[in-house]
A = this chain, B = another copy of it.
């Protein structure tokens, strides 16, 4: 049977960028070159805290091919914030502006004190080594604990506490105390790095009278434009940002990284193109990481497993600069209350500066850490109460009609119970759990489950806005421009499906312009918060409805029909009552609209829409694993993620998204950790050899399933899916390890080293 070409959401069509990427034709930032382009290389601090007391650039400047060396003395004294959040008119909600382009006061290993620009990369690197710096060391702070100590040296003039916030719903302290059963725990999560395949690269040149163009591998071109303008104190419209294809971001590129520096350098050098490209080592030490959280949790529950309330105290280590800073810790508290909503909820969070590399946004944005604590506590409660881990979650899981205890929003689609029920079946949970009873040998098997909730954008913390523009081509195809960015997640493909469905054409007739250009691309803050498909959808749909109407209107002129009688079916105009008898193709209509001497014109449509709804997605991970007690090694036998992300826009891409998140989740659970010397703050493994990121060979087969609910507030019934898959993985693994071994390990990652010390402490070995 011939397969019908895709024409709507929900169909498993191929990625629109598959061929471009598979053939190597897709152009990434580093594929863009310019005549006369120069290269920059940082001079970085070998200490984690202190001052550069002297700097001597003479030798570096004298090297043949060196154009310039700039130090902290040459950069504007304009502190700027780098977090990729939409701007806000509320000054109190803005990100902390604590960064200069270069600094004399270095705050982490690898902080930038100077930068060299040379005609080629090697010369730049050589010259950077020739810059001589004398250092005056300050005490190095690596833990929030040390940062908050009374006599701690201040990393920033404002002190070491970046921010404190709390969320209270009901009276969690009393509710927990009054509950029949209490559980508590102390949880710790590691510093990890995103390890996107494509490194951090930006280059800039001046095109006209002080107008600067920046090509950058970023998730947030429109925000980059704003932040660069702020950092250099020039009008926002004088900055133009171009975002080519992006080889992964995972939140690291939701920060403004090297764009302000590239812009600064071209500005200082009369407009010549300057490329700032970081090495992998620099990506580890001088871009962003995931915040390490220390969480103290308490939970109150009835004997029959009805959760009464819980409370989390979070200490978040943001490292040397704020970046997303406290937003991450705060977000963790905002995303979780949807999960088990019929409770009293308490969440207190403090974010501190330390002398670690700066932490920023990373897939999950605080939720993986918080869910790890909550789902470990709940699992411990289940074990203590003798209730099946799936069953206890079913008793508390969000259901349609529940209210979020914090913001009182009603939950309109809640597929979590269905995820648990279907997942239990597919996974053969009961049979597998049965097999874990009464184990004694070296190899011990365990099953674990954990749930999560996650929101679909940043509303109401951030303004949510997206724009879409459609242009009909002469051959009946439609070009789509959206400010929402493709960074590998498949946004362009599902956008194409949305437009195809609403206009009434085939997906192959829709082409999303993947490269954003802030001069002309409709405004949208970019790819983060799993917001893209949710927030871009209403703008795309509104523009697509306009386009459909314009096409039908023009068809009506051509056919001497009322447009009321006409509709579009897979690229053809038909009479509503005879949908299978094409009257005109969209191409016929386009040609007439362009070239009829008098009627028509180019058909286009544009919409910019603000979103003020933010429904939660849900899901859970089931895992079956074997612990080799002697080797302290975990082997995953089976792992399954079940998701409720509303209507699934493209099952194949959704599966890919879940696989990626699960793999990342496994990495965070049992492999990855940036090893930072506690005393010196030196990063010991800033490379992909020593940093143990799982490869395909380290990962088990990844399984997933979807509960296809329909979210009524959503333009196409869908909810977030980008970040969720990573969230519940660690807790499920930790819970399975406890079932297998009886040892409840609350510190990630569960590496052999960690297992060894925990097993030893528990007397298991």
Q: Name the residue on B nearest A607 (C-beta).
A: B601
Residues from 197 to 248 in A contacting B, C-beta threshold 8 Å: 206-209, 226, 235-237
Q: Cβ of A237 and Cβ of B608 under 8 Å apart? A: no
Q: Which residues of B contact A460 (CB under 8 A)?
A: 597
Q: Which residues of B contact A58 (CB under 8 A)?
A: none
Binary CB contact string for chain A from 463 to 499 against chain B (1 if under 8 A, 0 otherwise)? 1010101010111010101000000000000000000
Shortest beta-carbon distance from A301 to chain B in Å? 37
A150: interface (CB < 8 Å): no
Stretch at the interface among A28-36, A152-160, A575-583: A28-36
Q: Cβ of A601 and Cβ of B465 under 8 Å apart? A: yes
A596: interface (CB < 8 Å): yes
A519-B523 CB under 8 A given contacts A33-B34, A209-B20: no
Q: Cβ of B25 and Cβ of A207 under 8 Å apart? A: yes
Other-chain contact of A35, B33, B88, B89, B612 (Cβ < 8 Å): B33
A602: interface (CB < 8 Å): yes
Query: Which of A477, A594, A595, A602 has its CB near the most chain B CB atoms (within 10 A)?
Result: A602
A520: interface (CB < 8 Å): yes
Q: Cβ of B591 and Cβ of A610 under 8 Å apart? A: no
Query: Which of A460, A475, A600 has its CB near the most chain B CB atoms (within 10 A)?
Result: A475
New contact pairs (7) apart from A226-B474, A523-B594, CB-CB < 8 Å: A25-B206, A25-B207, A25-B209, A465-B602, A469-B604, A522-B604, A600-B610
Residues from 486 to 534 in A contacting B, C-beta threshold 8 Å: 511, 513, 519-520, 522-523
Q: Which residues of B contact A124 (CB under 8 A)?
A: none
A609: interface (CB < 8 Å): yes
Q: Which residues of B contact A606 (CB under 8 A)?
A: 604, 606
Q: Which residues of B contact A753 (CB under 8 A)?
A: none
Q: Cβ of B511 and Cβ of A237 under 8 Å apart? A: yes
Other-chain contact of A237, B20, B34, B206, B473 (Cβ < 8 Å): B473
A: interface residue count bin: 35 or more
Q: Which residues of B contact A70 (CB under 8 A)?
A: none
**What are 30 A-B interface contacts by the 8 Å CB criterion?**
A20-B207, A20-B208, A20-B209, A23-B209, A25-B207, A25-B209, A26-B208, A31-B34, A32-B34, A87-B594, A88-B595, A89-B591, A89-B592, A235-B475, A236-B473, A236-B474, A237-B474, A237-B479, A463-B595, A463-B597, A465-B594, A467-B604, A471-B520, A479-B520, A522-B602, A598-B610, A598-B612, A600-B610, A603-B608, A604-B608
Q: Cβ of B33 and Cβ of A523 under 8 Å apart? A: no
A612 vs B599: C-alpha distance in the bound complex, in angstroms?
10
A317 vs B13: C-alpha distance in the bound complex, in angstroms?
55
Shortest beta-carbon distance from A236 to chain B in Å? 5
Other-chain contact of A519, B19, B271, B513, B599 (Cβ < 8 Å): B513
A602-B19 CB under 8 A given contacts A236-B473, A479-B519, A519-B513: no
Q: Cβ of A602 and Cβ of B597 under 8 Å apart? A: no
Other-chain contact of A33, B33, B87, B481 (Cβ < 8 Å): B33
A27: interface (CB < 8 Å): yes
A520-B520 CB under 8 A given contacts A89-B596, A610-B600: yes
Other-chain contact of A31, B17, B35, B479 (Cβ < 8 Å): B35
A670: interface (CB < 8 Å): no
A610-B601 CB under 8 A given contacts A89-B595, A236-B475, A475-B235: yes
A473 vs B34: C-alpha distance in the bound complex, in angstroms?
27
Q: Which residues of B contact A147 (CB under 8 A)?
A: none
A745: interface (CB < 8 Å): no
A209 vs B511: C-alpha distance in the bound complex, in angstroms?
12
A86: interface (CB < 8 Å): yes
Q: Name the residue on B nearest A600 (C-beta).
A: B610
